[in-house]
Each structure stands twice: as C-alpha cells, then as structure tokens.
Amino acid sequence: MKLTNVFKAFFASEKAGGVVLVICTIFSLIIANSNYSTSYFSLWNASIAGEHLSHWINDGLMAIFFLMIGLELEREVYNGELSTLQNAALPMLGAIGGMLVPAGIYLIFNYGTATQSGAGIPMATDIAFALGILSLLGNKVPASLKIFLAALAVIDDLGAIIVIAVFYTNTIAWLYLLIAGALWLLLFVLNRLKVYNLIPYIIGGIGIWYCMLHSGVHATIAGVIVAFVIPFGDGSEKSPSYILQNWLHKPVAFLILPLFALANTAIVLGTNFSTIFTEHYSIGILLGLVIGKVVGISVFSFVGIKFGIGSLPDGCKPIHVIGAALLGGIGFTMSVFITLLAFTDEVIINNTKLVILVGSLIAGLLGFCLLKFTLKNNIEEASESLT
C-alpha cells in the first residue's frame, strides 16, 4: 500500500507538530513551577473582549483545529481509507472499542460519584502525538499501519466530538441553534450548486461558530459541521476542501495546538503528587488510557478480522496492531479538552491534566518500544530469508 501525497503531507505535518507539542508541554510545566508562575498564569487569564485569553484559544482557535479534523475525515470518507466499507471496517471497529472500553473502565471507578462526567476523558486519541511517536520509527513502519492509526485516530476524534455535543451540553439557546442550522443549510445549498469559492463558506462558518458559541452547544462543533459543506469536488489539489485543508495544516500544527498546550498544561506539581494517583478519577483515566485503549482497540479489531468484517493491514502482524493500539492511548489534546468541559473544580482539573500526561507518556513509550522491537525483528527475519 502506497501513501498518497495528501496523506504524506498530513503525516509530515502531524509528525512535526507532535514534536512541537512535546516542547511546549515541557516548557509550560517548567514555567508553571518556577518563580515566573504568577506572570505565566496571568497571561492566560488576561481579559480580551470580556473573556480570558485561554477561553478564546479553547473555544475559538480550537474550532479551527476541529475544522481540519472534519476536512480530514471528509477526505477519508470520499477518497481515502474510509471510502469503502472493507477499508473502513477495521479502524472503525478499533475506534469503537477504543472508546467504549476506556469509558467503561472509568465508570467502574467513578459511576455514581461527582466525577462520573469524566468518562469521555480516556476515550480520546491525540493524532499529532500518536503519529509523531510512530514517525520516530522511520521507514520501518508499513504504510498500511500509518494509515490504520491515522484513520482510527480521526474516527476516534469524531467519536469525541459526538460525546462533547451529546454529553457536555447543559442548556440550549434554541434561537441561536436554529440560526446556525439555517446558515449551515445555506452553505449546503451553495455546495450543491457547485459554488467553489471559499469566501462564502468562511464567512458562513464564522457565523455558525458565533451562533454555536451562544447556543450552549460547544462552539468547536461548528468546525466539524462546516467541514462537511466545504466542496470536495474530485479531491484534486484544486478542490476547495484540499486547498483549505492544505492551508490549515501548518497553522494548526505549529500555532493553534502549541497555544492550546501552553495554555492548558500549566500544571503546578504540589507535594501531594503521589496521592493524586489514588483518586478514583485518576485511576479511571490512567487505566483507561494505558489498558482500556489497547484492549478495546485490539480486541474489537481482532474480532472484526476473525469474522471477516475487516482485514489485517498489508504487511502487518497482529502484534503491530497492538502496538498501534498502545499509541491510541495517547490522549493529551482531546483528553485535556474534554477535561475542561467535564469538571469545574480547579484542583480536579489540574490533577486530571497531570494524570493524562502520565498516562499518555506510559502508553506512548510502551507502543514505541513494542513496535520498535517487532519491526526490527521483521527486518532481521526478512534479511535471513534472503540469505
């Protein structure tokens, strides 16, 4: 299986973006625990048009991130790994398992408590980090495994978006929601009329975002629904969808996600570091990311392969799927994002961010080591068979 030019660009962007995210996260943790912490927190709490700077990043700039995710999903559905049921089956099953099992593990420890709303936290996969770790293995990684992980992560993000829309919406301002719906229908009509100029879609998209922001439904959902009315055409480099997605790659990877990381990983490491991991919500998140993800993705994928619903990626062994499933336990961006919606207690939010970082680090290291060992053995076996 060969990688398309669009996927290569996407993968390269996410790969580099993953490195930048790591640097920003480490920097944020250091500053938050230094003598400059007060100034650092004041920066993100600075008021702009009546809202904190961090609010505009989380509710404004992240809508653009979700727009890119939506465009990537649109491309996969029309002309990629999700364009046929046979190709889409395996990553879809893996993503479903990778959401249900972690959420189930979390609820085992938190059902009926004040923190049960955090069930969506360990369900998420961070595309940038997951693909960034996979890229460190170089050309030894089969192209099909890269595509499987990318498709799984995109579907996983779609699942997270649905979870946000359904479970993290408290009150709804129906007038704003109806206006957003009307604007979306207008853009849909323009799509069907083959209006390929991006300007009306961008203006309409901003209007939808504004209405969603005031509707009670999280504003970032606007990014996804707008993506699906951007004309895909034939999927060529001249199509509006391709142009917009290609333009968004670098701003998202090198500006939006780093800003999100800087604003949301300013975690103060107190003296009660060890006791944080004894909390029920911490146990649920940690086990959900490190164990729930790999079990859910692997088991659902292997069941699908067993019953002929999907097929093992070309050039891969079952152990490679398990390695990719471990990388699926890197929650970070989406997990932190859902944390901000699930909880209001600042202590719980701070502790949860730390647990997410630790869980993502463990899952990433385990996935990297497993794939590095098994892919190295594959190369050695191939060399021996040639001699």
Q: 110 lies in which domain range?
A: 5-168+218-382
Q: Are 98 and 297 contacting, i.e. CB atoms less than 8 angstroms apart?
A: yes
Q: Is residue 276 part of a domain?
A: yes
> d(Cα 266, Cα 261) in Å, to the nearest integer?
8
- Tokens 């996260």 belong to which residue? 25
Q: Is residue 187 part of a domain?
A: no
Q: Is residue 297 part of a domain?
A: yes
- The predicted-structure confidence for 20-58, as pLDDT tens digits, reads as follows 888 898 999 999 999 999 999 999 999 998 889 998 998
- Tokens 């800003």 belong to which residue? 259
pLDDT at 236: 86
pLDDT at 382: 46
Q: With 80 as the cut, is the pLDDT of residue 11 above it?
A: no
pLDDT at 73: 79
pLDDT at 69: 81
- Token pair recorded at residue 151: 């498709």
Which of 326, 330, 338 lies closest to 357, judged by CA? Answer: 330
- Tokens 């700039």 belong to which residue? 61
- Count of Cβ atoms closer than 10 Å to residue 46 Cβ: 10
Q: Is residue 202 part of a domain?
A: no
Q: With 90 as the cut, is the pLDDT of residue 135 above it?
A: no
Q: What is the mean pLDDT of the chain?
A: 87
Confidence bin at 7 (pLDDT 50/70/90): low
pLDDT at 250: 86
Q: With 60 as the cut, is the pLDDT of residue 2 above it?
A: no
Q: Is residue 186 part of a domain?
A: no
For the segment 260-275, the average pLDDT, to the nearest whole number, is 81
pLDDT at 1: 53
Q: How many CA atoms lie within 13 A of 352 on its CB side?
A: 33
Q: With 70 as the cut, is the pLDDT of residue 297 above it?
A: yes
- Residue 317 sits in a domain whose CATH number is 1.20.1530.10
pLDDT at 4: 60
- Percentage of the residues of the chain whose pLDDT score is greater than 90: 53
Please count the structural domains in the chain. Answer: 1
pLDDT greater at residue 81 or residue 104: 104
> d(Cα 249, Cα 282) in Å, to the nearest integer?
33
End-to-end CA distance of the chain: 26
Q: Are 321 and 298 contacting, i.e. CB atoms less than 8 angstroms apart?
A: yes
Q: With 80 as the cut, is the pLDDT of residue 325 above it?
A: yes
> d(Cα 96, Cα 89) in Å, to the nearest integer?
11
Q: Is residue 198 part of a domain?
A: no
Length of the chain: 387
Write the DSSP symbol of residue 118. G
Q: With 70 as the cut, is the pLDDT of residue 385 above it?
A: no
pLDDT greater at residue 293 or residue 217: 293
Q: Is residue 213 part of a domain?
A: no
pLDDT greater at residue 155 or residue 170: 155
Q: What is the pTM of this model?
A: 0.81
Q: Is residue 173 part of a domain?
A: no
